[in-house]
Chains A and B, each alone.
Chain A
Amino acid sequence: MSDVLQRLETEVLIGPGDLPTNAAKKGFNLVENASWWLVNHPDAYQEILKAWIDAGCDFVVAGHGSANRFRLKRFGLQDQTRDINYKLIKLAQEIVPNNCYLFYSLPCPTTLLEPIGDASSDELYQSFAEQIVIAEDAGVDLIRLNVDSIEQMEQGMKVVKNHSQLPIAALLSLNPTPKGFRTMTGLGLTTAVKRWEELGGNIIGTICGSISYEETTTVLKEMRTACSSYLYARPNAGVPEMINGKAVHPGIPEQMAKEALNWVEAGAKLIGGCCETTPEHIAKVAAAVK
């Protein structure tokens, strides 16, 4: 059993940025399936992970949102779900050193459930279960779930409890609205955080979304007020703007490192990044926080 939760009592753990935007720098085309690309470019995948480890990560993350049955089906790859996930974890294990944890990312396969979306709650459960079993079998330290709604949280937690003993983190993709920070489905931050704690979740946090580094501090403070779970900050490198035809992400490494101190003060125990976060960002954060 992994001791990752014990470590969090006394330490802040540093984690990686995202896979797709870093894979894109190595030739991944964003219309392809990211997981399929990664298992077919094992060297590139391992180089990305190694760069995080060299930057000072205490944990890295195997698996990606594109590795589930629903997303793979778009490319006719649904029958390879098991194989792709297993390889994503095994390739990571080959290079992750003993002092670094390996998390497994389990994002929701479909954003919206029936009657609006195209998957039932039961199909969501099956899809989660399929992946959890693979992760448990391949061996990881923690399951990280991306969720937009209470139903997704509940199904995710049920699956993890039924099929594994692993600790579990839920990450919410939040956007500012006139009614506070909410997920795309309208789920409010406080409601989400409280429900997750009630379900027995260990870690809650924020991922991607349209929030800046500074807003991430506000989000963490609101989460801290609402629950006592460990908090995980994983923002994009700011909300990008197009300037002269090029996307400029305002979140530069120095700024992330500076703001990360506020995240820690607000209660963050795990820090990583999402879109356009580079190993340099993570190295600066690790230097500032550790």
Chain B
Amino acid sequence: MKEPKVILGDIGQSLIEGQKDKVKELTQLALAEGIGVTEILNKGLIGGMNTVGERFKQAEMFIPEVLMAAKAMAAGMDILTPLLLDTGSHTLGKVVMGTVKGDIHDIGKNLVGVMLRGAGLEVIDIGVDVPPQKFIEVAVGKKARLIGMSAMLTVTMPSMKDTIEELKKAGLETQIKTMIGGATVTQRYANEIGADGYARDASSAVDKAKELLRLN
């Protein structure tokens, strides 16, 4: 019989290596050994994903490896999610995210989604070419407190500003925070349009989302 600490460490390590079958197997083993669901989530899966985020930031891991790790994370989550619902635990926070109107580039947005999910947030991905009103409708409907917008093209970036202005018009800017990112997006632009946050990569996006949701 393995120590709980060793099992949790192995889950993290297998996740980092993108071995989804192994993560599944070890998650089941952890449950069988009586380790708590939230502990498996936080110390095993999320712990592993944090390391992935760090390594990505340092250019020690790249997008393909990160996506493999995300698949492994999802395999573990498939087992834990029904149990988490049973125990009444809920996610840390909800984020609505999408690529803005006029833009169909989604690699960056998907990567941010993976990392946010990996950090334990609930991500409602509404796809590409999303008009300002749609971001707001979904955020209100799903009671999300954060909207994440991505754009790769400079010509589509002004749509981010439109969403923020619509949000202000609806008087929702204090309840629903906004954060933006994308290849050509900068902190300067975020300041200019009044976005609450900016992140230059998927890993920093996790820190920023947590900060805006006051989870840090």
- A residues within 8 Å of B by Cβ? 24, 29-31, 111-112, 115-116, 149, 177-179, 182, 184-186, 210, 239-242, 244-245, 247
Contact = CB atoms under 8 A, between A and B. Distances in A.
B186 interface: yes
Contacts of B192: 242, 244-245
A184 B154 contact: no
Contact of A31 (B61, B64, B71, B103): B103
A247 B62 CA distance: 28
Contacts of A24: 155
B62 A116 contact: no
**Contact residues of A: prevailing secondary structure:** loop
Interface of B: 58-65, 67-68, 71, 102-104, 107, 129, 153-158, 161, 183-186, 188-189, 192-193
Contacts of A29: 102
A112 B103 CA distance: 20
14 contacts: A30-B103, A30-B156, A31-B104, A111-B107, A112-B64, A112-B67, A115-B68, A116-B68, A179-B60, A186-B61, A186-B64, A240-B154, A241-B188, A242-B192
Given A177-B59, A245-B158, A30 B153 contact: yes
Contacts of B60: 179
Nearest to A177: B59
Smallest CB-CB A-B distances: 7 pairs: A186-B62, A247-B154, A177-B59, A179-B59, A242-B189, A116-B67, A178-B59
Contacts of B71: 115-116
Contacts of B158: 245
B149 to A, nearest CB: 14
A252 B97 CA distance: 34
Given A116-B68, A240-B154, A184 B63 contact: yes
Contact of B102 (A30, A177, A210): A30
B155 A245 contact: no
A47 B107 CA distance: 32
A247 B188 CA distance: 12
Contacts of A185: 62-64
Contacts of B107: 111, 184
A256 B193 CA distance: 31
Contacts of B188: 241-242
B184 A247 contact: yes
A242 B185 contact: yes
Contact of A186 (B63, B154, B183): B63
A60 B63 CA distance: 33
Given A111-B107, A179-B59, A186-B59, 14 more contacts: A30-B103, A31-B104, A31-B129, A149-B64, A179-B58, A184-B63, A186-B64, A186-B65, A241-B184, A242-B185, A242-B189, A245-B158, A245-B192, A245-B193
